[in-house]
Structure 1
Amino acid sequence: MVKVYSEVLDDYVEVPRPVRKVVSLDPASTETIFMLGHGDKVIATDAFSYRPEEARRLPKIGSYTHVKEEFLEENKPDVIFTTMGAQKELTKVLIKKGYTVYPMPVATSVGKILDNVIVVGEVIGEYEKARELYQSLLLKVLKNLSTSANVKVYVEFDLGGPITPGFPTHVSDAIRIAGGRNVFDDRHEAYFEPDPKEVLRKNPDVVVYEPKRLTEYEKERFAKSLRSRGLDFLLNKRVFFTKGDFLAHQGPSFILEAIPWLRSIFSS
């Protein structure tokens, strides 16, 4: 057994060595474990872990708020990765029932995504590959680092309603890295429903919309939503759509794919 410090718990989590069976209820951790070459140890994931493609084929035993405890009882994982925020209560329940749980902090910056790679590597005992992955991701960030931030950007997620990121988010940080400036970078909230009057006043240059899943219907629905809120002026701006769960994702592929994409649309 080794003791791994948890920033979230402000305590040490005892993890067996070697780690043979992992349950990951955190999509970012799932992706990281596979990228570290230990995907064969993941025996189950949450419903939203589909990166990389191999993760799609694993048993799906939970979501943000629940997990199939009979699976855990039967398979006895060495460690369960969770994420804070929506899984805060679930994490408490699993710990109380005696499972070895390592809760991952929500990424409030791109730097936190990098740090979480090191953390996952420490938990599963893969130090060298974690260091290598960290450095390759850091180089990707530096390659896409812009010295200017002149493009005003408005980002909207479809989360059952219009939601936009504020200052303490990996999305707002990535926008700045890529040469933009989130128009709500002055807000202390991580994610919130924007006031249409504020969007109008801030007058962004670029609009980025992330649907749950990109279709022509979703594009039209977004346009209708803007019109209903008196924001149809945004349709005359440069509007870009993501494929869904693209900017929201907090795993390594956010750095490998989303940041270069942001850089490309800001410089186009």
Structure 2
Amino acid sequence: MTPNKLLWLCLWLLSASNALAAGISVRDDTGATVSLAQPAQRIVTLSPHLAETVFAAGAGGQIVGTVDYSNYPEAARRIPRVGGYSRFDLEAVVALKPDLIIAWEGGNAPAHLQKLRRLGLPVYLSQISRLEDIAGEIERIGVLAGTRQSADTAARTFRQRLADLQARYAGRPVVRTFYEVWHQPLKTIGGQQFISSVIRLCGGENVFGTLTATAPDVTVEAVLAANPEAIIASGMGEARPEWLDDWQARPGLLAAQRKNLFFIPPDLIQRHTPRLLDGAERLCQHLETARSRRPAGSRQ
């Protein structure tokens, strides 16, 4: 080995040693710093959407435990369960000896997360509020799991797909939209909920966008007064909910008059994962259908 090559090798080893000593550190969605001595090899995810995101970051094989309804990709179905996201089993989590827990601020009980932290377990807390945030989360998980190359590729793909949708639907005529989470009680989304950003991406306007609650209850009378041009429903599974067609009994409702009653599977639109763009594409297509059904010369 030449002296130059030997010097280069020594410098590289010194750099690698310093990097290892420094460990790994990222900030989660709450601004808290999460530090690990080395990439996580035993990960527990405390929400279905977080399991899906870890798979997207290339670290699905490192998940040793997750919660009920973690069903995508197919391999996620075979991961041991530690309960549900709102009431997970603390003892089951600890028994898995995780070196990283990825939790959901909007769904996991803060007291339970505090107990895990007091046991010395690193907890990364996720809370996505914008479409743009998903790519960054994939990248941060890739850093923590040591799968940075796969994660960075997935994040770039997500950003490119998002940019393409933004360019395609920028400037499209506005469609006033009611997003129906559930029928009884009648629930929708507020303006700060991330599905509102999907509606805006597609050139829509959330008719309840001034509400600050994440998933507020509304009345039928309020929907009729808002008179949306399109209604988007999610329901509970892959099948179109029967109650969506109940709006046909309201002939004064513009969305009913024009048969703009649309369905998107909840896993595609209500999970903060890369598949959210699949749901966004469907929502954008539905709003394009609503535009196509306008009378000639009508702006709504």
Provide TM-score, normalisation by structure 1.
0.87
Aligned to 1:56: 77
Deviates more, 1:78-87 or 1:68-77: 68-77
Is 1:102 the counterpart of 2:124 in the alignment?
yes
The residue type paired with residue 207 of structure 1 is I
Select the residue among 267, 274, 298 that pairs with 1:252: 274
Is the contact between residue 182 and residue 188 of structure 2 (CA under 8 Å) also seen in structure 1?
Answer: no
Aligned to 1:144: 165
How big is the shift at 1:231? 8.7
Aligned to 1:264: 285
Instruction: Write the deviation string for residues 70-91 of structure 1: whole angstroms up to 9, x where unpaired.
Output: 3333320110111012214232
Instruction: Write the deviation string for residues 77-118 of structure 1: whole angstroms up to 9, x where unpaired.
Output: 11011101221423223222332211111x221112222222
The residue type paired with residue 67 of structure 2 is D
Q: CA–CA distance in 2 between the matches of 1:187 and 1:170?
A: 13
The residue type paired with residue 121 of structure 1 is G
Aligned to 1:180: 204
- Gap change, CA 1:149 and 1:141, over 3 Å in 2: farther
Root-mean-square deviation (CA, aligned residues, Å) is 2.4
Structure 1 outlier segments of 4+, above 4 Å? none
- Gap change, CA 1:160 and 1:245, over 3 Å in 2: farther
Alignment of 1:105-254 (within 5 A): 105=127, 107-145=128-166, 146-147=169-170, 148-158=172-182, 161-215=185-239, 218-219=241-242, 221-224=243-246, 233=253, 234-236=255-257, 237-254=259-276
How many residues align? The count is: 261
Aligned to 1:23: 44
Is the contact between residue 29 and residue 81 of structure 1 (CA under 8 Å) also seen in structure 2?
Answer: yes
Is the contact between residue 22 and residue 80 of structure 1 (CA under 8 Å) also seen in structure 2?
Answer: yes
Is the contact between residue 214 and residue 244 of structure 1 (CA under 8 Å) also seen in structure 2?
Answer: yes
- Gap change, CA 1:7 and 1:265, over 3 Å in 2: closer
Is the contact between residue 149 and residue 176 of structure 1 (CA under 8 Å) also seen in structure 2?
Answer: no
How big is the shift at 1:162? 2.1
Deviates more, 1:115-124 or 1:172-181: 115-124
Provide the secondary structure at the position in 2 that maps to 1:154. Answer: strand
- Gap change, CA 1:190 and 1:72, over 3 Å in 2: closer
Structure number with larger C-alpha Rg: 2
Q: CA–CA distance in 1 between the matches of 2:64 and 2:251?
A: 46
- Gap change, CA 1:239 and 1:170, over 3 Å in 2: same
Alignment gaps of 5+ in structure 2 = 1-22, 290-300
Alignment gaps of 5+ in structure 1 = none
- Gap change, CA 1:143 and 1:242, over 3 Å in 2: same
Is the contact between residue 16 and residue 78 of structure 1 (CA under 8 Å) also seen in structure 2?
Answer: no
Q: CA–CA distance in 1 between the matches of 2:117 and 2:252?
A: 48
